Structures are given as structure tokens and as C-alpha cells.
Amino acid sequence: MNRGTWLLGRLAQIVPTFVMIGVAVFVLARLLPGDQVSAMLGERASDDTIARMQAQLGLDRSVFVQLLDFLAAAVRGNFGDSMSLRLPVLQVIAERLPVTLALMAIAVVLALSIALPLAFVAALNANRWPDMLIRTIFQIGLSSPVFYIGLLLLTVFAAGLRWFPVGGYGDDWGEHLYHLFLPGLTLSFSFAAVVMRNLRAGILAVLTAEYVDFARAKGLSAGVVLGRHVLRNALIATVTLVGLHVGALLGGAVITETVFAVPGVGRLMIDSILARDYPVIQALTLVLAILVSLAFLLTDLVQMWLDPRVGR
């Protein structure tokens, strides 16, 4: 098979995935017990009000028609209005999504800059003290809840040393970066631990490969051997795992944003739940799932770029 065909096929897969996600969100919202309308209107709403609300939401029609309606509306980006914010859901999410994406991007960059060098140090000293020390620290990091790490960093570096703001987002790019640094660091720990663990194992597996010995036999410097021959092959296995971890990263973002009062979609999710704002919750679940499936797509593309054998 030709790589171009493979690529097109992979890109085309995203369409049924989106549809499936839409159906799943719809089914979840309908299947779960609990009457949304009375939950939204409160216990004392009259039957009449409830009926009007149901008609307004289209809940009086057949489930199948509702599903098609929901999907069609979702394609147009029409998720209705937020009950608590009195704004179109799409607008609410569109305002907050970039914040979360920026937070995740900072976390990923920080995690990679922590994990990449440490993975090399650990692998090149396998089972000696630097390796043991690095692995122990990351093991503790993996066992620490995100909100706890966040609180500690917040107390020490923001409230205590006043190096960083205690929360918020700021008004321009510089301020965004400044405000999101601590939350990003908080979020990066578990991600760094996952990358470190896998990359270390990957590097160890690759270090004894024949092509690495051959690269040495060519007289390449240690830097070229590690950076070009070892890292690239070790990354191939790591990239897949990193992709699978994006969902966990989003979950971590929900908590981090709550701790640092970052106005992103994670914080929005929690606020909406506490306000029983179902249209927002439903749309957010959909958007976040789509985000993850896009991350999977990106993973596959990176994989294809790293490994010429993919798709052939």
C-alpha cells in the first residue's frame, strides 16, 4: 500500500469517529437516569412548565429524530444556550478552549523538556544510582494527585515566594504564559513520568540494537549516535503511549484549572456540573472526546513521519 493512500484512509477515519462520538454522547445523556428537565427547572416546577421546556428542547419527539437533530445541530456548532451563563454554548466553549489548549501545550513542552534528558540519563546509567534516583522521584510524582501538587506549588511559589500569580489567565500572550506556568508545571508531572518511563525502556531496548553498534562503527560521535539513531527509534514506541495519555492530560487539566482558577474548559466543566448546566456538560464531553480523537490522529501522523515503514 502506498503511503498517500494510507494517509487519506487515516484522515477519512475521523469522520465515522466523530459520528460515533456524537451518538455516544447523545445516548449517554438519554440513557442515564435522572430527568434533566426537572433537574434544570427545580423540584417545584409545574407540569406545564416542564412540558413547555421539553418541547423547547425537542424532547417530545421520537428518540431517533432527536438523535438526528442533535447530530445536525452539532455539525453546525449549535449546542443551544448555557442555562447558567445565558450565552450560546458554542461561544462559551470557544472562549475557554484556547486557554485549556495553551495550558496543555505548556504542560507537554515542560514535560518533554524534563523527561527527554532524564530518560537518557536513566537509560545510560541503567540500574545505577542516577537511574534509581530518577525513577524513584517519578514514581512519587506518579503517586501524587494533581490537585495536591498544584496546591503545593501554589502555596510555595505563588502565595509564599510571590514569583507567580495565584491564578487567572492575564490579558496578553506574555501574561498568559506567566499565569499558566505553574498550572502547566503541575499538569506536566504525571505526563513527564509516563514519557520518562516509556522512553527509558525504549532507549534501553534500542541501545543494544545492531544499527546502533553499526553507527558507532562508522565513527559517529556519541551525540549523533544518541540523538539520531537511538532517540528516533526509541520515540516511535513512546509516541503511541503519549497519544493515549492525552485523555489523562485533559482530565488533569480539569483539576489543575480548578486549583489555579484558570478559566479554561476544565473549570467550565466543573462549574457547569455544580450549576447543573446540562447543555454545556453535554457539548463539552463531545468536544473533549473530539479533541482526544484528533490527538490520536496527530499521534498517527507523527508516527508516520518518524517511521518510514508505517503505511507501506
Partner 1 sequence: MSILLDVADLAVVFHTKRGKVHAVDGVGFSVGRGEVLGIVGESGSGKSVTLRAITRLLHGAEVTGRVTWQGEDVLAMDAERLRRMRGGQIGMVFQEPMAALNPVLPIGLQITEALVAHTDLDAAGRQKRALELLDLVGIAAGRTRLGQFPHEFSGGMRQRAMIAIALAANPALLLADEPTTALDVTIQDQILRLLRGLVDDLGMGLVLVTHDLGVIAETCDRVAVMYAGRLCETGAVAPVFAAPRHAYTKALLGAMPGQGQDMLVAIPGMAPRLDTPAAGCAFAPRCGYRMPICDAGRPLLRDVSPGQVSACHAAEALA
Partner 2 sequence: MRVSLSLLIGGFLLALMLIAAAVPDWFAPFDPLVFDFEALSAPPSGDHWFGTDQFGRDVLSRTIHASRIDLQIAVFCVIFPLVLGGAIGLLVGWYGGVVDAIFGRLVDLVVTFPFLVLVIFFVAVLGPGLVNVYIAVTCVGWVPYAKLMRAEVLVQAQSDYVAAGRVLGYRMPRIVLRHILPNAARPVLVYAVTDMALAILLGSSLGYLGLGAQPPTAEWGVLIADGKNFFTTAPWMALFPGVAIVLAGLGFSLTGDGLADLLAVKR
Write out the residues near partner 1 by the rule CB under 8 A: 208-211, 213-222, 224, 228-229, 232-233, 236, 306-309, 312
CB of 284 to partner 2, least distance (A): 8
Q: Positive or negative, the Cα torsion across 199, 201, 203, 206? A: negative
Contact partner at residue 52 from partner 1, partner 2, none, CB < 5 to 8 Å by partner kind: none
Measured at the CA of 188, the angle between CA 183 and CA 190, to 5 degrees, comes to 125
Contact partner at residue 228 from partner 2, partner 1, none, CB < 5 to 8 Å by partner kind: partner 1
CB of 300 to partner 1, least distance (A): 16
> Considering only residues 2, 46, 143, 221, which one is a binding residue for partner 2 as defined by CB under 8 A?
143
Give me the helix-helix angle, 246-260 and 278-306, nearest 10°: 130
Calculate the alpha carbon distances from 92 to 71, 98, 104, 270, 280 in Å: 19, 11, 19, 14, 8
> Considering only residues 124, 151, 209, 237, which one is a binding residue for partner 2 as defined by CB under 8 A?
151
Contact partner at residue 224 from partner 1, partner 2, none, CB < 5 to 8 Å by partner kind: partner 1
- Spatial separation of the C-alpha atoms in residues 203 and 131, rounded to whole Å: 13
Q: Is 142 in the site for partner 2 (CB under 8 A)?
A: yes
CB of 213 to partner 1, least distance (A): 5
Q: Is 244 in the site for partner 2 (CB under 8 A)?
A: yes
Q: Is 250 in the site for partner 2 (CB under 8 A)?
A: yes
Contact partner at residue 216 from partner 1, partner 2, none, CB < 5 to 8 Å by partner kind: partner 1
Q: How many residues bind partner 2 (CB under 8 A)?
A: 49
CB of 214 to partner 2, least distance (A): 29
Helix (H, G, I), strand (E, B) or coil at 162: coil
